[in-house]
Amino acid sequence: MLHSTTIHLPEWINEVVDWQRRYDNDDEKMALAITLSQQNVARGTGGPFGSAIFEIETGKLVSVGVNRVMPLSNSSAHGEMVAIMLAEQAVQSFSLGADGVARELFTSCEPCAMCLGGTLWSGVKRLVCAATAEDARAIGFDEGPVFEQSYQYLRDAGVEVVRNVQQPAAAAVLQSYVQDGGTIYNG
């Protein structure tokens, strides 16, 4: 029986990500998440979703994630979860806020039910989304039981939520995925 599994990013990540760069504003940060989603489609390494986690105060990039569900045979390997797991390994804590450094998650598409829960448990203080759940559903992806109250729960827990940042660019990546014949798993 297997006793472990591995989550890893595609090999092209370091061609796309500048780990030394400081990101000054939401547009720069979201541009990275959307670029990751677009490259993941273009290079055939997973579904059309990308995420990135930053330190809020410094703009330092902590981790990135792309959807790896099919390549890794792992239904949990959504972009947000991959970014969260790698960030937690980077800071060596199950909480991305326990050390007093506030961190934020940028995602190219509003989180599914799993990832919205994962966002809450991760300890990030801010969630910023591009494409909407409706954009994902429009190409056949099911986001699961996510309700407006779910977002309010996060806000009540101290997580700032910002939506529709660069939504058209992120939605265009979703459309390109389906136009190129990308597989809609869990559809």
Question: Toward Zn ion, which CB reaches closer, 21 or 137?
Answer: 137
**127 binds Zn ion, rule: CB under 5 A:** no
Tell me the three state secondary structure of residue 136. Answer: helix
Residue with tokens 């599994």: 5
Question: Toward Zn ion, which CB reaches closer, 62 or 136?
Answer: 136
Q: Is 15 labeled as catalytic in the residue annotation?
A: no
Q: Which residues pair with 107 in a beta bridge?
A: 51, 129
Distance CA 166, CA 32 (A): 11
**115 binds Zn ion, rule: CB under 5 A:** yes
Distance CA 25, CA 31 (A): 10
**131 binds Zn ion, rule: CB under 5 A:** no
User: In degrees to the nearest 10, what's the CA dihedral of 130, 138, 77, 167?
Assistant: -10
As measured in angstroms, the least distance from the Cβ of 87 to Zn ion is 16
Contact assessment for residue 103 and residue 60, using Cβ atoms and an 8 Å cutoff: no
| Nearest C-alpha neighbor of 142 from the set 150, 133, 151 | 133
Burial class for 123, CB neighbours closer than 10 Å (0-12, 13-18, 19+): buried
Identified catalytic residue from 11, 28, 55, 80: 80
As measured in angstroms, the least distance from the Cβ of 20 to Zn ion is 29
The residues in 93-112 that bind Zn ion, with binding defined as CB under 5 A, are 112
Question: Toward Zn ion, which CB reaches closer, 14 or 75?
Answer: 75
As measured in angstroms, the least distance from the Cβ of 116 to Zn ion is 8
As measured in angstroms, the least distance from the Cβ of 137 to Zn ion is 13
Question: Toward Zn ion, which CB reaches closer, 10 or 111?
Answer: 111
Of positions 33, 40, 53, 78, contacts Zn ion by CB under 5 A: 78
Task: Report the catalytic residues.
Answer: 80
* Chain contacts with Zn ion (rule: CB under 5 A): 78, 112, 114-115
